[in-house]
Amino acid sequence: MSRMNWKSLYKGSETKEQALIRMYTDPKMLEENGSWRAFLDFLAARFDTTKMAINKKLERLQKEGKVKRHLVPDSHSYGTQKLITLDKKFPDANMPEKFLDLIIRGNKLLNEQDVRQTEVFPEIKGRKWIGLVIAGDWHFEHFRTDTEEIVRMLKEIGQEPNLYYGFNGDLGDFIDLRFFELENETVNIPLKRRIEVIKYLVSLVPNMLFMVCGCHDQWVRTRGRRDIIEEVQATIKGYYLGFGGTVNLKVGDVVYRIAAWHKFKHESQMNAFHPNMNYLRLIDSTADIVSLSHRHDIVGISHVFWQGQPRVFTRSGSEQWRTEYAWKEGFRGAINQYPMILLNGTEKRMIALINYKEGIQVLRALNKGVIDADELVKAGEDNIRRC
C-alpha cells in the first residue's frame, strides 16, 4: 500500500489529531480493513509513521476521553471462513489507576480496623496502693508446662482487690505451627479449641490491663492466619499493645509510664536488664517502668536512677519449666516467679517485689495501714545489706 498523506482524505481546517480521531472512529474504514493489525497498518500509512506510534497516540486519546476503545473486528483465515469478534472485551486503559485507588482505600480501611495501640491512658480511681503483675510465657498447651499452676495463679490474681495484670506475650506454645516435626511436644487440639481455652484463661483475670504479642503468638498470626490476642481483646477491659507499647497508668493523682514488651533488642547473657536499659536509651527516656519477659530462666527486679529519676526494671518467668530445645542446649529450667510492682495513688512511689505471692500480702498490709511504705523499703534495704 503506497503511503498517502492524511490530507488527501480529509482536507480543510482539521488538525492531524482531529483527522486521526475521525479515521479511527469511521466504521467503514474498520470494516474495510477487517483486523486490528490491518487497521493499524492503514493508519500508519496515512500518517506516514509506525504502528507503534499510532497505537501510543490512540492510547493517549483514550485516556483523555477523546475516543473510546473500539470493539475491532478481527479475522482469521480458515479457508474462506471469516471470524467476527465484535463483542470481544479489552482491558480498560484506566484500570491501573482504579486498582491503585482500591489499594489506597484498602490500606486506610485496614489501618482503621487495626485494634493494636502503642500508647494508652487507663485510669484507676482512688488513692490506695495498687499492685501490678506483668507476666507472660504461659505456653499452656506444651507438655512440659504446669498448666494447673497457670490456672491457680490467674484465679488468685483475678480475685484479689486492687491487683491488676498485664500479659507480656506467648499465650500458648504453638510449636507445631512453626515446626511440624515438633508436634509431639504439645497436647494437640485444634486451633479453634485452643483459642477457646485462651479466652477462658483470660476471663479468670477481670482486671487485665493490657496484652502484648509474643514470638509464639506471632507464629499463629503468620502461619495460622489468626491474631489470637486481637480476638481476645474485645473480651477484656484492657488494651492490645501489639508487639509492645506504653501504658500511661493514672493511679489516683499519679501517672506512671509503663513500657511493656515481650522482648527487646540487645539481649545479653551477662546482664538480664541490658534490653530494659537500652529501651530507655533508644525509645523512651521518660518511662518509669520497663517490663520484659521472654527469658524463662531469668526473673528479676532492678531499681535504678537514670537522668535523676527512679526507674524500675522487671523480667518475669514461666510455668514452662523446660523445653526439649533448652534441655538439648544445656539451659537450666525456667523460674516460676512473677514480679509485682506496688504503685501509690497520692505520691509517685514504686516498690517492686520479686514474687507476686508475697506481694499480695504486702499490698493488703499497706492498704490496711498495718505497715508503712518507708519501713517496707528500709526493711528491704537492710535485707540486701545482710546478703
Q: What is the pLDDT of residue 161?
A: 95
Number of separate domains in the chain: 2
CATH number, domain of 129, equals 3.60.21.10
| Cα–Cα distance for residue pair 356/378, rounded to 1 Å | 19
- CA triple 301-316-132, angle to 5 deg: 75
Same domain, 202 and 252: yes
Place of cell 486498582: 99
Whether 104 is in a domain gets the answer: no
The per-residue pLDDT for range 297-321, each reduced to its tens digit, is 888 999 899 999 999 999 999 999 8
**Residue 364 CB neighbour total at 10 angstroms:** 17
Q: What is the pLDDT of residue 280?
A: 95
The per-residue pLDDT for range 138-167, each reduced to its tens digit, is 999 989 999 999 999 999 999 999 999 999
Q: What is the pLDDT of residue 43?
A: 85
- CA triple 198-316-307, angle to 5 deg: 130
Residue 187 pLDDT > 80: yes
Same domain, 88 and 129: no
The per-residue pLDDT for range 30-54, each reduced to its tens digit, is 777 777 778 888 888 888 888 888 8
- The whole-angstrom distance between residue 185's C-alpha and the CA centroid of its chain comes to 27
Same domain, 239 and 162: yes
Same domain, 149 and 227: yes
The per-residue pLDDT for range 130-141, each reduced to its tens digit, is 999 999 999 999
What are the Cα distances from residue 17, in Å, to 21, 136, 154? 6, 71, 78
Q: What is the pLDDT of residue 32?
A: 79
The per-residue pLDDT for range 259-287, each reduced to its tens digit, is 999 999 988 878 889 999 999 999 999 99
Evaluate if pTM is beyond 0.95: no
Q: What is the pLDDT of residue 374?
A: 81
Q: For the residues 234-241, what does the mean pLDDT come to?
A: 91
Last residue of a domain, one of 45, 69, 98: 98
Residue in 89, 161, 105 with CA at minimum distance from that of residue 131: 161
Mean residue pLDDT across the chain: 86
Same domain, 90 and 122: no
Same domain, 231 and 177: yes
Same domain, 202 and 75: no
Residue 91 pLDDT > 80: no
Strand partners, 210: 166, 239
Last residue of a domain, one of 34, 65, 98: 98
Whether 382 is in a domain gets the answer: yes
Same domain, 272 and 347: yes
Q: Give the domain range for residue 71.
A: 8-98
Whether 318 is in a domain gets the answer: yes
Same domain, 157 and 278: yes
